[in-house]
Structure 1
Amino acid sequence: MEFKNTREFAQNLDANDPLAKYKEEFIFPKVNNKEVIYFTGNSLGLQPKLAKKYVDEVMTDWANLAVEGHFYADKPWWDYHERFSEKLAKVVGAKSHEIAVMNTLTVNLHLLMVSFYRPTKKRFKIICEEKAFPSDQYMIASQVKFHGLDPKKAIVEVKKREGENCFRTEDILAVIKEVGEECALVLIGGVNYYSGQVLDMKTITHAGHEAGAIVGWDLAHAAGNIELKLHEWDVDFAAWCSYKYMNSGPGNASGCYINEKYHGLNNIPRFEGWWGHNKERRFLMEPEFQPEPDANAWQISNAPILAMAPYLASLEMFDEVGMPALIEKRNRIVAYLEFILEDIDKGVEGTTFEIITPANQDERGTQLSVFLHGEGKELFNYLMKNGVITDWREPNVIRLAPAPFYCSYEDMYDFGQILKKGLRSH
């Protein structure tokens, strides 16, 4: 498709967009009494209008039923978490019994590492990416120290080449091969939070297994954003937050994937609690733990229903639309945003935007990370004051994530016009 940087062209794209109606299903903040252009769904998604209904249902059941809500609410609390499995399985490419919803992301990664990072004298190293999201860095280092190991010796970081913004798959594979029999675990972010690069998870997972290692993925920026086939790729485990592209609310519940080959094992190390106990016998209060036969065995505490309610509301929309349709719009709207940026760059003297996210559609999702050569945080502040909610990352990058559920093509055009004025004003 040949794009044009005109309002008429953008409006025509919206008129032919089957997902355009979903923009009305979200609540937008306002700046200067006007709804914002929202580019930070990669940090916190907008609130679906349906979320309040789902939360109110729980509040009403709590008021009217109190403890009996566990069994007699319209959506009983004792098995509330089970409503996620089938729908989330479609989002991440898993079998429904490989999915559990519990806790928050870093907590779940810690709990999964109890099972899947079992260092020995010979095989003890973890491969991750350099400058991973800080929480992952802290988590991995603390796990290594917990086992009495030195992070400097046990953690191997895959690095970008000098002068390059993205990782090369061949470099990741080379590190895995080099570490070889010393590698216990490969644990990397499936989508790099800074550059927006989508890694070749299938190839990397296979390489990790060839080296005899366990392979897990942090899918914080991947779930609800890109196509995932966790079961088909034979990923061992993965976890993701729900508050970015999945619009569940700040700091909300995390999803986990645990490959079915680890289900039902009596000898697998795992921190356990009563919500992972055989649900048919859970309320008998027996002293011996009997694990659920699936990923729910990794649950510890009873489900935080009020937190899960908005997640379930958002997931209903994902199930209605389906990932293929979201990805189709994502590809087009990101390409249009890329075109707008390049067109503005050509038209304003003395500016240079460098998009550090890969141009290849297979290597990117919803996010474009833009390095602002010759521009400082003043431009970011200008955008924010003029109703463009975006994200600043040092040293000089803005991250733009036009989520397909609630961003329009006309938003992309309007952003371009605001950006052009901002560049000319300073």
Structure 2
Amino acid sequence: MTSIVEGLQGKPPPGHPNGYPFVAGRENVVACAKHFVGDGGTKKGTNEGDTILSYDELERVHMAPYLDCISQGVCTIMASYSSWNGTKLHTSHFLLTQILKEKLGFKGFIISDSEGLDRLSSPHGSNYRQSVLCAINAGIDMVMVPLRYQIFLEDLTHLVKSEKISMARIDDAVERILRVKFAAGLFEFPLSNRSLLDTVSCDLHKKLAREAVRKSLVLLKNGKNPDKPFLPLDKNAERILVAGIHADDLGYQCGGWTATWEGKSGRITTGTTVLEAIKEVVGQRTEVIYEQNPSPNTIAGQDYSFAIVVVGEGPYVETGGDSSELTIHFNGAGLIGAVAEEVPTLVILISGRPLALEQRHFDNIDALVAAWLPGSEGGGIADVIFGDHEFQGQLPVTWFKSVDQLPMHSEDDSYDPLFPVGFGLTSKNKIVQSR
């Protein structure tokens, strides 16, 4: 995942000093690695929670990606809302200064998360001057203050004048911020290059996004009998049933942080839904019948060649996504059961993470594809399920049998997943080989 730094900033030349920020040119942008550190290891996965680990484990598991980012010249790193063994990351001088800046040699700047300082006190935003003091002295160089900037400036100025925050700390922050601005060429070219606007959402970008979709799909099941693969599907089938609210909803394909903070349903942008992609690829004589929640009469006795059920999660962000059950939304499990009972069925799961799969439904379906959040290019899904391209994706995480197993670690003796990390099939039911 850290390869995105190179995609945004460009590749540093040989001999570029480790830890120093790098931006290749005006067509590149400053990258931010986040959220430092342990954000993905909080107890029960709770957003803004507490990662309870020894330092050795924190370093081994959670710091490894940051080492790679730093070696690629990442310009900025964002502190996490979460805590490490009870200490808020925004106030951890040990992790932000002693480890990130001094031990790891990071020379860019550390930025707070949005209203990160407000979250250091309870109730939210109280005792603000003390929060500013703790965060700046811990090593935060730039503070994201969307609303209370006047209060922040007043409190920071007071703390410096009263010598509770040293000028050396201010100089360090200013030096790091200027270093990134010089690397990005902001003094030579302070404004954006408007000639690049025409490249936004251009055909080349859409083509690349579609390629990313088809390469990221993970085939988890392909046929009730492994010797008789269900996929690829026949483009010239006589009649196809497509079901599920996610089959024709760009907003659900995109998830949160799209158009709005939380995301929403509907045609929030230009793009192709899964249903539209299916209709584009099938033969002219193929009849595609779509219902979000098909009735028993629609399902039974219609002589379908097969069904494609597209289910998953509604959009969510941050605490709104916390779940102890991880169920498929909108009665997705019930829909799977109803359709698969009557029609040979491919299930496409649209989600930001593994979801609970009922064993009886899993046994009854013919194929299962984890499509994650494919964004605007639903055509990438049709490319693979109809056989124009082969499945290449592998699970980046473990897929549990039951939420009671969580958290799961592949090195544990009791490791017993539904699908292990790294799992993925081809349409020939061969295991996808890592490249």
State whether TM-score is above 0.5.
Answer: no
Q: Which has the higher contact order (CA 8 A, sep 6+)?
A: 1
Of structures 1 and 2, the larger Rg is shown by 2
Which has more helix, going by share of residues? 1
Q: TM-score when scaled to structure 2?
A: 0.29
